[in-house]
Structure 1
């Protein structure tokens, strides 16, 4: 079943044209693999290489990124900042471990250092505004008292009634909040540096060490190294690159409790309902359709689907992965307790649907059918070729609103 586009809705805000154009330039490539343009004069190069004019000279540029497998967090860590920005800017893969999404910890620290040098903190700005507001009230009360005294004296001496707001030349006597200027500038709040700032006062020119890394989920890492062949995963202790067979075993063993933090490279117990296999089937399905797939734990779902990426727009779809056993006997004998594999209550579904409806996301239940062991031999699980035996079905869930759905 193909995904339908959600109902069009007016967007509350639009990014500035300059920023939107900059994002289009930075995030122009949807995947790490890019295709180089042909030379300006291909006929000359064809003659030099002895090729026919009809043969294309488009080159495929595939970056080589490196990551370290961490079995404890079930993720792959990318520490090289060049590789980090390549994976983030070309497909929005992973997230910064010290950031909400984009790995921007270093940029935030640099901006904080500049703010400490040239400006005030948010607390100091608030204190300064409160002092200005207090001074405005004092000046206004002083002006009101002076205007009242002048009007009373004019009435007693000359019997004239004068305005207590405007003077004879039309100028305003009592200041307003829009035009008020302080008679005496309020004193800036005294900033007491912390002991850490006092010690680091002389080290402001020392470059900040970037301690953030990009954290890839197992599904993202396997998609990059198996489908795109642009990532290599190394062993955390030896530093040696792992082969595809070793990665295939380690990613499945990561979901099996182990007393050792070292990755288990032994052949796992071959089961079609391994959580890594089920989650990757759903991830690969939507990535192959062109969607940017991100974690959806913030909205109580498994995945969020973006049309282009988080910097362009909000997610349009929220995905719940629901494993379905082709043979119910496999579920009874399974050592894994897959989420959403058992029937859930309507109250839970209504709650989940309401949460995503409030943030204008369409809820999709993605049913991943797990093949029966009696039909498919265990030898198929020795390689990623086993993904051909899974299937994905989608059901869109929407709230019924009588006022909007009368037809």
Structure 2
């Protein structure tokens, strides 16, 4: 039976309680601005709250949350997590550069102009969120997402996630998939391949429920690791 890795970090947060989702105090929404590439949270209190409660976003001047101490540092939210916060949790209000509030259709149109596979990626993001993973960008390792147990502060990423659409079938053959796998193995991760069925018309958030996502764990047999595990038993 396959057991995925949850490698704990050496850190001072062992007794820290993390909330999986942000909570709006007094019913007020977080305020974000769509910059054309991401959604930017400028208020430092809201930025820190979003990162502390669910590890959403990345500091504009930091590797993780906003931690540089600079007054002009903001929190940058990815397209998928922005959509999740705004139209599924309904805790984020997104405005465009002109100050107009963006509804789901307006945001979807803008996101698809940046990433034509946005709908498929969003479906996979929601699928992973339903399994309680913390999701960050996987572009550094050549994938779509990195997923963590509980928090990147506590654990290293367990999987490098690659989204496969019907148009990608020819690309993700054994040769190219091995390349992704080797990159993941250099940082002690496994590859999770998510296959997304053809997306139909998506005009409302609930339409994403009609998209089917199937998962495949890609792992190369490591003889040395196998022998060591047997010796420890």
Question: Which bracket does the TM-score occupy, shorter chain normalised?
Answer: 0.7 to 0.9
Q: Does 1:251 align with 2:86?
A: no
Asked if the contact 1:33–1:63 (Cα under 8 Å) also holds between the matched residues in 2, the reply is: no
Aligned length: 228
Distance 1:229 1:351, change over 3 A: same
SS at match of 1:349: helix
Q: Does 1:276 align with 2:99?
A: no
Q: Does 1:33 align with 2:31?
A: no
Distance 1:400 1:81, change over 3 A: same
How big is the shift at 1:381? 2.7
Give the structure with higher Rg (CA): 1
Kindly provide the CA deviation profile for residues 78-115 of structure 1, in whole angstroms up to 9, marking residues without a partner as x: 10111101110000111112211221121xxxxxxxxx
In structure 2, C-alpha distance between the alignment counterparts of 1:61 and 1:342, rounded to whole Å: 51
SS at match of 1:381: coil
In structure 2, C-alpha distance between the alignment counterparts of 1:246 and 1:68, rounded to whole Å: 13
How big is the shift at 1:299? 1.7
Kindly provide the CA deviation profile for residues 330-372 of structure 1, in whole angstroms up to 9, marking residues without a partner as x: x5xxxxxxxx45333433322321221232212111111114x
The structure 2 residue matched to 1:394, chosen from 209, 215, 218, is 215
In structure 2, C-alpha distance between the alignment counterparts of 1:105 and 1:15, rounded to whole Å: 19
RMSD over equivalenced CA pairs, Å? 2.6
Asked if the contact 2:34–2:96 (Cα under 8 Å) also holds between the matched residues in 1, the reply is: yes
Aligned to 1:5: 3
The structure 1 residue matched to 2:50, chosen from 84, 87, 91, is 87
Unaligned runs of at least 5 residues, structure 2: none
In structure 2, C-alpha distance between the alignment counterparts of 1:400 and 1:91, rounded to whole Å: 34
In structure 2, C-alpha distance between the alignment counterparts of 1:61 and 1:5, rounded to whole Å: 42
Asked if the contact 1:248–1:383 (Cα under 8 Å) also holds between the matched residues in 2, the reply is: no
Asked if the contact 2:88–2:205 (Cα under 8 Å) also holds between the matched residues in 1, the reply is: no
- Taking the TM superposition and a 5 Å limit, the aligned residue runs for 1:143-182 are none
SS at match of 2:77: strand
Q: Does 1:317 align with 2:138?
A: no
Aligned to 1:242: 102
The structure 2 residue matched to 1:362, chosen from 174, 182, 190, is 190
SS at match of 1:105: coil
In structure 2, C-alpha distance between the alignment counterparts of 1:347 and 1:251, rounded to whole Å: 31
The structure 1 residue matched to 2:11, chosen from 15, 22, 46, is 15
Q: Does 1:348 align with 2:176?
A: yes
In structure 2, C-alpha distance between the alignment counterparts of 1:252 and 1:98, rounded to whole Å: 26
SS at match of 1:252: helix
Distance 1:404 1:242, change over 3 A: closer
SS at match of 2:197: strand
In structure 2, C-alpha distance between the alignment counterparts of 1:319 and 1:229, rounded to whole Å: 26
Aligned to 1:67: 32
Query: TM-score of the superposition, structure 1-length normalised?
Result: 0.51
Q: Does 1:285 align with 2:113?
A: no
How big is the shift at 1:63? 4.9
Distance 1:307 1:8, change over 3 A: closer
SS at match of 2:14: helix
Query: TM-score of the superposition, structure 2-length normalised?
Result: 0.86
Higher strand share goes to which structure?
2
